[in-house]
Structure 1
């Protein structure tokens, strides 16, 4: 008997902004993500549960907010609170494997120091980088097959951030040709995996590829490095940030990241390379989607694209991400193409990255974990939004390598409220101030709004058993 359940191909990027690929978004060439979006469903209000790599990826695996899985900061750093997921915590990889799926994984992991994808139900095909995971040596062997010396790479037009202690490479042009880059290599591994699945067996498969970009350093090969002219890059509206009325950490964070002396001319150069990185990755998406078509798997494979979180790239005059819960880092791209059924073109429901965990299991006909903070997106794909679907979204932040820093956020159609444990809170009227430049948390005319949003935040914290639920409402 033929298994009628779909294959699932999941393409995750690292630090990709939603406005890069949304309908009518930034002037970046992404024909293959457009191709997915135009034949699938775009989720216009998709958010990460937290804007930090390990924490977001652990939430994706488990369907839980970070306070519940415990990976609240990056696992590779010396101050990691946890270096591995707790033993026995159900993950979608293991549950899919139990349901009979053949699971594959390529690329970045970053959810622990010693236990990789193979410990969570996946066959790992390689592609990690040594900074975060160092799971294998396959990329070096791949370069040898191309007769390329891995140590021969040079970076020109380099831009560095300087925090006073060390310089960090932020952007540049690599001397490697596109086919010798890790980005291309990850697509190559994925195409190989798709071709093997097409040739072997009838069991449905789940395949996940985690690209390492467009996370900084924005080091890309030609022709992508010169594809976008910095002179054509308009300043972000939020670049008008003055930090007036904002938490002190916002202004200090530029210094911490070593970018407080970057002017717009510098940022425009970085943004142009970031755009080129996105287009380069998109071309790799095209190679993977073409492989699905070529092998005859496209009609029975659901394709999902998302990012773990976004990137500032100069928005609010900031670099990377951190204790700032702005749209540029918390709103993420999310598009789902299910060729087996009619789907709506766009959904404006509030959804989260970790909602993909029960969605994957739903497609597989598998039971989800008993404890979860997530819901399947399947009804939204057909335009059937449940009556009890939330009309707001909740997110967290716990800190990074600089130390712990408690934040909680709730966002509705019009307003965003941010609790900052160590500093003043934030309230933004997104209809009147879509770029979040004016903090209204202490404005007397918004007192009723502030109280209502505080109540929403407290309700979310109660609903997910947030460990700060007994404390935060008292401070509001």
Structure 2
């Protein structure tokens, strides 16, 4: 690490949402109120081509922590399930958080973890401030105790307007919980609680005479399903006013068979538009609820004089179908609905205000970015590129900077079973390799809804060859264990 004055280094505040779509916080449609995200975009930079390396919680979060693609850290599916291929990060893999802690940063963490069945944030340099839940982590009882004190125990609440997958959308006996209205006050939601813990941390750093800067991470439990929100958010969006996304016209003609199979597997093959609109309205309400908590956090930074010395990052681990292509949740379906993610960065006096960048970037590029902000060397094992050249240059690449013109993503399966996929994406095109089925090629400019698979279209022969070459190169450069035979298949098929 270079010699630096610890007090001169920037604080970093990472606000990670869970399963938030890219388009929810972009200007225009859909009409979701996101004042916190809008403020970050107005006062900083918004990335328009940020993707997750993998659309499943544990794997994406492990990539963010380690700066590596999933096949390089080994957590290929969710750690809490009995079929987890690797429930914890292997020992010896360096994380950005451990490097920051060694460099004198005060690291704190609140909210969802889901990056190790037997590990916690405290195993990676953080002080954990509470807010987990049983399904994902069961690290502590902080939120339950908070609700007990407020007189609304978590288990005693009777939800309203409940929606489930399966044969009877109002009966949860054989379906997955999708959405509901909760009668509790906003102040009793987990989103509000996590914002409170974050504000407490901001206040502590403002009041204490500490030697080092802070890195704080808040992981919200949403807008991941079940979309359970209180008023006024539960009725903020009228289902009758929600327009069907273009991808709702999906026929699955010429698509991998697993796409249509997933409708039945997720239990939504019988959902009509009325049910989807009801679910989407709650999903949007959940987004706005969380976004209002971002506003509270930003106001706290202002009130305590920490805005100018704090880099703020908002992003998500991956997106959510929320009815697009008539799909629920996520899975072995590599559309932008789940792979394209929001990413906004505010850094006063460094990042220009109100700019956008269309340079392709990955979620786990943040690992190297955080280290470079702290003037800490980036481990050679990272597959992560620091975003500083973009942050310092108005979102554009400096002329002398080498940067890949595509992104690389993958999928290895969840509780549905193992299903190996690889994806390469440029600003214009997307190619998906599906080992056991037909591959996919989409022209994102002509067909942003990704309805037409062009893999066999003769006018796209050159594009197909180029994208296959790009994908093979990514697999080779990242030492993807599937590269030995997959790259041969891609080359032979070109």
Structure 1 length-normalised TM:
0.98
Partner of 2:39: 35
Counterpart pick for 2:202 among 175, 194, 209:
194
Measured in 2, the distance between the counterparts of 1:459 and 1:304 equals 30
Stretch moving more, 303-312 or 397-406:
397-406
**How big is the shift at 1:6?**
0.3
Partner of 1:380: 390
**How big is the shift at 1:342?**
4.2
Partner of 1:420: 434
The answer on 1:52 being equivalent to 2:63 is no
Within 5 A, what are the aligned runs for 1:170-209?
170-200=178-208, 201-209=210-218
**How big is the shift at 1:145?**
1.9
1:420-469 residue CA offsets vs partner (Å, 9 max, x unmatched): 01111001111221111011112233222212211110011111111111
Partner of 2:457: 443
Counterpart pick for 1:69 among 67, 70, 73:
73
1:306–1:342: structure 2 CA closer, same or farther, 3 Å change rule?
closer
**How big is the shift at 1:163?**
7.6
Counterpart pick for 2:142 among 125, 135, 138:
138
The answer on 1:19 being equivalent to 2:23 is yes
Partner of 2:334: 325
Indicate conservation of the 8 Å contact 1:57/1:308, yes or no. yes
Partner of 1:249: 258
SS of the aligned residue for 1:166 comes to coil
Measured in 2, the distance between the counterparts of 1:332 and 1:25 equals 16
Stretch moving more, 207-216 or 175-184:
175-184
Partner of 1:167: 175
**How big is the shift at 1:2?**
6.0
Ranges in structure 2 where 5+ consecutive residues have no aligned partner: none
Measured in 2, the distance between the counterparts of 1:28 and 1:58 equals 29
Partner of 1:353: 363
Indicate conservation of the 8 Å contact 1:163/1:255, yes or no. no
Measured in 1, the distance between the counterparts of 2:188 and 2:427 equals 44
Indicate conservation of the 8 Å contact 2:228/2:286, yes or no. yes
**How big is the shift at 1:475?**
1.9
Counterpart pick for 2:283 among 274, 290, 297:
274
Measured in 2, the distance between the counterparts of 1:295 and 1:159 equals 42
Counterpart pick for 2:115 among 111, 121, 126:
111
Ranges in structure 1 where 5+ consecutive residues have no aligned partner: none
1:17-43 residue CA offsets vs partner (Å, 9 max, x unmatched): 010111334201111111111000001
The answer on 1:211 being equivalent to 2:220 is yes
1:308-362 residue CA offsets vs partner (Å, 9 max, x unmatched): 0000000011000000110110000000000132426111100000000000000
Partner of 1:467: 481
Indicate conservation of the 8 Å contact 1:51/1:310, yes or no. yes
SS of the aligned residue for 1:3 comes to helix
CA RMSD, 1 decimal: 1.3
1:100–1:249: structure 2 CA closer, same or farther, 3 Å change rule?
same
SS of the aligned residue for 1:407 comes to strand
**How big is the shift at 1:288?**
0.8
Stretch moving more, 365-374 or 268-277:
365-374
Measured in 2, the distance between the counterparts of 1:163 and 1:126 equals 37
Aligned length: 476
Stretch moving more, 267-276 or 344-353:
344-353
Measured in 2, the distance between the counterparts of 1:153 and 1:442 equals 53
Measured in 1, the distance between the counterparts of 2:153 and 2:105 equals 38
Indicate conservation of the 8 Å contact 1:163/1:256, yes or no. no
Measured in 2, the distance between the counterparts of 1:2 and 1:186 equals 28
Partner of 2:376: 366
Measured in 2, the distance between the counterparts of 1:210 and 1:337 equals 18
Measured in 1, the distance between the counterparts of 2:459 and 2:350 equals 48
Measured in 2, the distance between the counterparts of 1:247 and 1:160 equals 26
Moved over 4 A (4+): none
1:268-299 residue CA offsets vs partner (Å, 9 max, x unmatched): 11101101000000111111111111111111
SS of the aligned residue for 2:110 comes to strand
